[in-house]
Chain A
Amino acid sequence: DIQMTQSPSSLSASVGDRVTITCRASQSISDLNWYQQKPGKAPKLLIYAASSLQSGLPSRFSGSGSGTDFTLTISSLQPEDFATYYCQETYGTPYTFGQGTKLEIK
């Protein structure tokens, strides 16, 4: 199975900050998706295919990367962005998720 390692595991930031979360795959992958999850809720798709913003979402979310290294960037944190973020590879089954990055208010 492919292993996905996210960093950092947790992050404290302020409203208006620019934040970057990294996801590294144990081998080269072709597809990478990013999700946001708030407590008690299902994950929400943010970015698919590494850099495609899900329809209807604000442009402050962006994704980049290829091969084994991928990033999710939030350009200017808003109060509603404090949540846990997961990456997911879909190179082949079984799909695997990163362990999550908890974004907290500083």
Chain B
Amino acid sequence: QVQLQESGPGLLKPSQTLSLTCSVSGGSIRSGSYYWSWIRQPAGKGLEWIGRIYNTGNTNYHPSLKSRVTISLDTSKNQVSLNLSSVTAADTAVYYCAREDYYASGSYNYWGQGTLVTVSS
């Protein structure tokens, strides 16, 4: 059974860089057919797609975040990372990592439990 778990600082100051790690167990991030994605959800609001990475290192990012976001893989640790620079209060949200199944309509069948990141001075 695939499991994902996000980790990282829960509190940041404006202008700092958000760095989160998604540890994957029960499957290799080097497997084909899957993208590894980050999605966020501000409190009481809907889901926002941040971006994704394939096992080749190929990435896609949301245009509104593209200048600030980097998603990377650490295959030795079976981890996926998210970096978001120059954060503001608008970046306060629960951040999820999720596995996108390319052959199931790009759906997300596996999610982490989510980690709350608060940006406040």
Contact = CB atoms under 8 A, between A and B. Distances in A.
Nearest to B101: A48
Interface residues of B, number: 23
A93 to B, nearest CB: 4
B106 A97 contact: no
A73 interface: no
Interface in B55-108: 60-63, 96, 98, 101, 104-108
A98 B47 CA distance: 8
A90 B105 contact: yes
A96 interface: yes
Summarize A's interface: helix, strand, loop or mixed. loop
Nearest to B111: A42
Nearest to A42: B111
B64 to A, nearest CB: 8
- With most chain A CB atoms within 10 A of its CB, the pick from B62, B98, B105, B114 is B105
Interface in B16-63: 46-49, 51-52, 60-63
A48 B46 contact: no
B120 interface: no
Contacts of B104: 48-49, 52
B109 interface: yes
